Structure 1
Amino acid sequence: MEDVKFGFAAMKELKKSVLYQTLEKCKSVFWFVFWFSSAINILALFLPLYTSQVLDRVLSSGSASTLAMLSIVTISALACSALLDVCRSLTMAKVADWIDRETTPDLIVRAISLTSMKGSSTSGDVIRDLGTVKGFITGVGIFSLFDMPWAFVYLVAIFMIHPVTGCIAVVGIVLLVLMAVWNEMATKRVMQESTEENVRNIGYIDVASRNAEVVEAMGMIKHIVTEWSKRNDQNRSLQVKAQGGQTLFWG
């Protein structure tokens, strides 16, 4: 079991170092995507501005030409925003593909070397974890990080529309933050226990697989399956408990 823990820690450091070096090379691309995100968020402000202008100016003046011009400008801004969003998504997809091509061979070589030297049994995890990183880069989660600074700009815009709506938005933000913190505090320990138990289960099966001939010769397969089922049931109960806590907070 100590070998499994050491192997897990060593693999974690390996993935961190290789991935960090690769992401360092992508800094310029991330800045490029950040400015794309900034432009998208600025263009998104056109819709509430369009609404306020229609209510304040067009309805009072009854000018069809003003309405047409505002509509053309707003539609053009939203079309540009959609185009930039597509470009941003394609860029991150290319980044994920480049990270895969650049990182995977190095990870495999180092993982195999570490396995041969230290007897680690978790070398296959590096590919799965790299897939998780790629999924994050190509998903909506990373775009939320780029869009986060603009939340304050939107908040100011809401206050400019009306102070009451601004106060409602602030209260909503505070409540969401408090719920997120409370949810993290309530489920962090259970999630950590579930992750550690899952690592132990994987290590248990890896050890049995490495000694498959001995296990089969001694007739221990049924015992190993039974023991793993008990461990897996415990892990599932932890996962259900954590998911239940999150459901209570977020529905």
Structure 2
Amino acid sequence: MRTKPKTELTLALKACGGGFAMAGVFSFFINMLMLVSPLYMLQVYDRVLGSRSEATLLMLTIVIIGLLGVMGALELLRSRVLVRISNRIDTRLAERLFEIVYERALRMPQASRSQPLSDLLTLRQFLTGQGDRGFLLFSMPRGRPSTCSSYSCCILCWGSSRYAAPRSWSALAVATEMLTRKPLAQANQEQMLGGQFAETNLRNAQVLEAMGMLPGIRRRWYDRHRKMLTLHAAAS
């Protein structure tokens, strides 16, 4: 029985198997640590509200802060791993894909020229998880005044933490936006210019083929493409 030949995309994904496995391990522990908050609430209801023990509340709070810090570190590591995976896949496929799109433009001048390049970019963005940055803002309704007031009636420290948490999330969201706005804007600009450059040259593929200019055009496009990847990685 003949085996189906592996595509270049399959080979690129297989080469990153170790990275995917590492990201999977990080995700497993992150998902486990997501249970920390509800467990903390249960412990507060069970151990703190009945005994009114501030020492118990303090120890529980210290433990949960440590565990949430570990979860944040794991999320950061997972993000770094996924960015490296996406850049590695892009490095293996980008130039080859440009050649394929160029050859396709020679055979079918009326076909969509740069769509495969956009598909590769979509795959890279999917792997890096960009677009989930708004999650912190969506969590803000939990800090509405009525909820905070009801918690304050139970325990002052607990209610105070409910007041402080949403404001910390808001500050973190604003800081993230300020830090990533410039590199993301530059990356999007490079992405747009790279797409226009590829589209313009692929429209004249037959002329470029006759003049033997493909290597130079590909190199110029890839230099711009790598600059865009670097900016996106800095903002991720």
Structure 2 length as normaliser, TM-score? 0.49
Larger Rg: 1
Structure 1 length as normaliser, TM-score? 0.46
Q: Which of the pair has the greater relative contact order for Cα pairs under 8 Å at 6+ separation?
A: 1
More helix by share: 1
